[in-house]
Amino acid sequence: MADSFLSKSTASLTNHFSPISLIRYLVLGMATATLFLMALGSATRVMNAGLSCPDWPLCYGELVPRQQMNLQVFLEWFHRLVASGLGLLVILLTSLTWWYRRSLPAWLPWAATLALGLVIIQGLLGGLTVTQLLRFDIVTAHLGTGLLFFSTLLATGMALVPYRGTGVAGKLLWVSTSAAALVYFQSILGGLVASQWALHKCLSASQLCSVMNSHLLGVVPATLATLALVFLAWRTPALHPTLRQLANLAGGLLGLQIVLGITTFRLHLQVAVLTVAHQAVGAALLGTLVAFSIIALRDQVGARSLAVSQGLLQALDVDRPQAATP
């Protein structure tokens, strides 16, 4: 009995520290760090700290600008530090997936390579935001690439999470994917508003009001798609608890995001914490919808595989010769 317990413990440890488990932990940890990095980038913009380090990639020609250090310089410097750390982790992730590729899903090294390509583009855009003096299109592209990188990491991690579906996700996959696309597009519109200070200019000088209004109108389709997902999840019997929890989380984040959006609009973006929270919650909502989509896809694929397996078993039973009765 002791030998059986020891063998089970050894097997559990082996599974816990297997390459696929380690990569799953690494990817999900990086996704969490990316969400924090995007919030930090938002704080840097809101505090007008985007050009606090006038050069790139160093800051005042130093790795740590001790003499010039203040809150604004720290925000920009720390933002670059976290981004550099993430870049190193992506290199590690890509190396590990290609090294262990024979014991991993065939798509995983390519997903890691895609993440590496996105982080390289993100780094170049980060440098251009400084050298081009915060040009609004580059700043928006920087945000858009960051959201794609975050979504790629989260999708990869959720594809590696142990899961056995119920096969009832149905059309929820298309609803969640559409909602994720609309929330991403809405985030880009928000980036255009923020990078051009469109709200301030519209309210004070009636300039760039079309940019601000496009973001306000974009709330409608993204909200309706997310609410449709939550409603259909509630109405779907036998839905896996993971999918139900993700749908509930999406609904809660949507409500919080609407409250933050109305509050920041009424306060004219004067409260930095609320503005940063608005962007962070929007990114979290996008991530939740991406996670739901990946799990729903796995639910459908698992159901099809099970149906094929059952069909093969039935065919074998039919073809198997019956024993002669005396």
Question: CA 218, 220, 222, 228: dihedral to nearest 10 degrees?
Answer: -170
Asked if the structure places residue 10 within a domain, the reply is no
- pLDDT surpasses 80 at 302: no
pLDDT of residue 304: 59
Asked if the structure places residue 36 within a domain, the reply is yes
Do 173 and 305 fall into the same domain? yes
Q: Which residue has the tokens 């996670």?
A: 291
Do 270 and 185 fall into the same domain? yes
In the chain, the amino acid numbered 76 is E
The Cα 305–Cα 326 span in angstroms is 39
Out of 139, 162, 185, a domain closes at 162
Do 48 and 170 fall into the same domain? no
Q: How many CB atoms lie within 10 A of CB 213?
A: 14
Asked if the structure places residue 261 within a domain, the reply is yes
**Helical spans, DSSP H, in the chain:** 2-16, 19-46, 71-99, 108-131, 136-160, 172-195, 198-205, 209-235, 241-266, 272-319
Closest CA relative to residue 97, chosen from 81, 82, 84, 114: 114
The mean pLDDT value for 46-72 works out to 91
Asked if the structure places residue 316 within a domain, the reply is no
Do 145 and 175 fall into the same domain? no
Do 286 and 187 fall into the same domain? yes
CB 150 within 8 A of CB 31: yes
Give 59's strand partners: 62
Do 182 and 238 fall into the same domain? yes
Q: How many domains does the chain have?
A: 2
The Cα 283–Cα 188 span in angstroms is 11
The mean pLDDT value for 178-206 works out to 92
Asked if the structure places residue 52 within a domain, the reply is yes
In the chain, the amino acid numbered 54 is P
Do 120 and 256 fall into the same domain? no
pLDDT class of 169 with cuts at 50, 70, 90: confident
Q: C-alpha distances in angstroms, 322 versus 274, 285, 287, 325?
A: 73, 57, 54, 9
The Cα 264–Cα 309 span in angstroms is 54
Task: Give the domain extent around 183.
Answer: 164-309
Higher pLDDT, 4 or 261: 261
Do 194 and 117 fall into the same domain? no
Asked if the structure places residue 75 within a domain, the reply is yes
The residues near 305 (Cβ < 8 Å, ≥ 6 apart) are: none
Q: Rounded to 5 degrees, what are φ and ψ at 267?
A: -90, 5
Do 52 and 96 fall into the same domain? yes
User: Exposure string (b/e) for 224-249, b if CB count within 10 Å is 16 or more?
Assistant: ebbeebbebbeebeebbebbeebbeb
Asked if the structure places residue 282 within a domain, the reply is yes
pLDDT class of 242 with cuts at 50, 70, 90: very high
CB 236 within 8 A of CB 247: no
pLDDT of residue 164: 86
The residues near 196 (Cβ < 8 Å, ≥ 6 apart) are: 136, 208, 211
Do 280 and 219 fall into the same domain? yes
Do 178 and 145 fall into the same domain? no
* DSSP single-letter state for residue 102: G
The Cα 138–Cα 127 span in angstroms is 10
Model confidence pLDDT, tens digit, residues 214-240: 999 999 999 999 999 999 999 998 899
Asked if the structure places residue 154 within a domain, the reply is yes
